[in-house]
Amino acid sequence: MRIATITNWAYGATVCLTLASGVAKMMAYRADSVERQAVEQRYVFDQLTEEVEVDAWALSDLARLYVIKQDPAVAEEYRQKAETMVRIEHRLQKLKDAGASDEELALLHEGLQMADALQDEQQSAIASVGRGQQPQAIELLYNERYESELEQVQNQLDHFRQMLDRRTNVAIEDATAKSRALRTLSEVMVGLTALMFLFVLGFILKRRVLRPVVRLSDVVNRLASQDYGVEAPDYRQIDEIGDMAQAIRIFRENGLVRQRLEKERDADWAIRELLARMTQRLQGCESVEDVLNVAQLFAPGIAPGIPGQLWLLEREPWQMHCAAEWLDPQGESDPFHPDQCWAVRRGQSHPPVTGEPDITCYHLPDACASHALCVPLIAQGETIGLLSFQNVTPAMAPSRAYLELMAEALGLALANQRLRDALLEKALFDPLTGLRNRHHLEDALRTQINQAMHSGTPLSCLMIDIDYFKAINDRLGHDAGDLVIKSVATIVQRAVSDKGMAFRYGGEEFLALLPGADEETAFTCASEIHTAVHNLTLRYELSEIGPVDVSIGIASYPQHAQGDNLLRAADVALYRAKELGRSRIVSFGMLEGS
């Protein structure tokens, strides 16, 4: 049992004893009051009944005197005395005796009735005198029956007073004994209260003052050494000890808050450092894959314990597809339409306030939709992707600003990569055919020759030219010429896709590099291209473009040329094919044999 509980019980017992002592004293006082009331009641009854008795004899004497003398003054005195006796009887009838028995009340009532009957007889005698019947009046007031009735009134009232005296004496004795017992009980309770008070006082001095001070001193020493993990005693009594305990609790709570703020500050700094480091790494990325790898590496540190996904917006088809994810998010990573995400619709993170009721994004799993956060990836006013976080709660989520900064950095990095890829495509690929252009050829040729030199494998080059292309342009226009170029480019790309690389070398000229292919293999590939072009049927609007043919020159390393001379040798072979009438394949080896 806690010390405070024991003390409270002791205090409660002291209070109860004090209250019981007070109640006992009040009951003793009440017993004394009962005793006094009984005495007073007996005195009143004695006085009134005695007055009734005296007045009854006085009225009888006055009535007899008037009958004899017939003096009007006596009659007037009789009348006044009768009125006085009536008032006394009324007082007796109105008195309330809480302890009177039925027998006592019957005696009193009968005595008063007898007194009234005597008055009636007296009134009758007085009336007879007034009618001149004095002898009858004297007979009425002086006979034995009248004397007997007068004595009965006296006896009845004497008997009533005797019974009243006996009951009053018993009530006084009971009240005295009860008062004495209650006073003794009150004194005993006062003594017990004093003993309890002394016990509680000693208990408090030892347990509620000395021990709490020692414990508080130990807590203060530990708090002084910044050990805020110590549990401060919870003394809530309203005294100096309670004030000291409250002050120590406040000091400890302030220390814990300061520690928590320091941890949050350190965590914020760590997240800021991660964001800065991620931004630096994003600046060094050379592809979208690099950006995705950086996102997967740094996102778990920036948002600890929060699963997430990075979605990229595809143009064809118009949908979001999952490009990266971390910490095993719930649900499938199926593509979805951008309109299913409210963050993409609004161009702002959604929901605006974490934990508040709001409409959920339709692409999220139902199990985590209410604890999710979507942040759009926006660069230069254009949405290019989406960051989706799950199990986001106010307790564990970092500042929303950090997540939005991460989304901004990733959005800029992805936009830069897309711009870089677009510029690279424009710089290295032909916009009409989609084939690599002449600038790309220089790097590719150098690389392929170096690999062939180190590995000792052959490298062949096909130089392809569309025959009579100028005539097609002059006859049908440049749009028709572009159609022919794209069609031939498709055939060339299809023929060498598994064997090497195809380039658009000039206006109507194409070039193919076939690593690992000797002259014979290169000739087979060239024949495939030549046949497919010859069998090509093209129409432009309502006009038949007519037959299309190509001339192809072949050169192989190291059989026909060394290093950069490979292109020159293939060009010489192509020139020879044109001289021989076009629509044919000529190998540089044929020129050496002739």
Task: State the CB neighbour count (10 A cutoff) for residue 439.
Answer: 12
For residue 576, give the amino acid letter.
R
Distance between CA atoms of 134 and 140, rounded to whole angstroms? 10
Question: Could you give the C-alpha distances from 276 to 297, 405, 457, in angstroms and in order?
Answer: 14, 10, 48
CA dihedral 556, 561, 562, 568 (to 10 degrees): -100
Task: State the CB neighbour count (10 A cutoff) for residue 450.
Answer: 11
> Token pair 């017993």 is at which residue?
31
* Residue 508 appears among annotated catalytic residues: yes
Helices 102-130 and 72-94, axial angle in degrees (round to 10): 160
- Cα-flanking dihedrals φ and ψ of residue 550, to 5°? -130, 155
For CA atoms 49, 51, 53, 56, give the dihedral sign.
negative
Question: Coil, strand or helix: which one is 499?
Answer: coil
> Token pair 């300061």 is at which residue?
258
Token couple for 510: 């194409």
| HSE-up of residue 135 (Cα within 13 Å, Cβ side) | 0
For residue 538, give the amino acid letter.
L
For CA atoms 94, 95, 97, 98, give the dihedral sign.
positive
Distance between CA atoms of 157 and 53, rounded to whole angstroms? 7
CA dihedral 130, 132, 138, 139 (to 10 degrees): -120
Q: Which of 35, 89, 508, 509 is catalytic?
A: 508
| HSE-up of residue 462 (Cα within 13 Å, Cβ side) | 36
- Extract long-range pairs of 175-184: CB within 8 Å, 24+ residues apart: 175/31, 175/32, 175/34, 175/35, 175/38, 176/31, 176/35, 178/27, 178/28, 178/31, 179/28, 179/29, 179/31, 179/32, 179/35, 182/24, 182/25, 182/27, 182/28, 182/31, 183/24, 183/25, 183/28
Distance between CA atoms of 415 and 420, rounded to whole angstroms? 8
Q: What is residue 222's DSSP assignment?
A: H
Distance linking the first and last C-alpha atoms of the chain: 119
Segment holding 7, helix H or strand E: helix 3-69
Question: Could you give the C-alpha distances from 286 to 154, 205, 411, 417, 426, in angstroms and in order?
Answer: 138, 78, 15, 7, 17
Does 558 sit behind a cis peptide bond, omega within 30 degrees of 0 on the bond before it? yes
How many Å is the Cα radius of gyration of the chain? 65
Which residues touch 285 (CB under 8 Å, ≥6 apart)?
A: 291, 294, 413, 417
Which are the catalytic amino acids?
A: 508
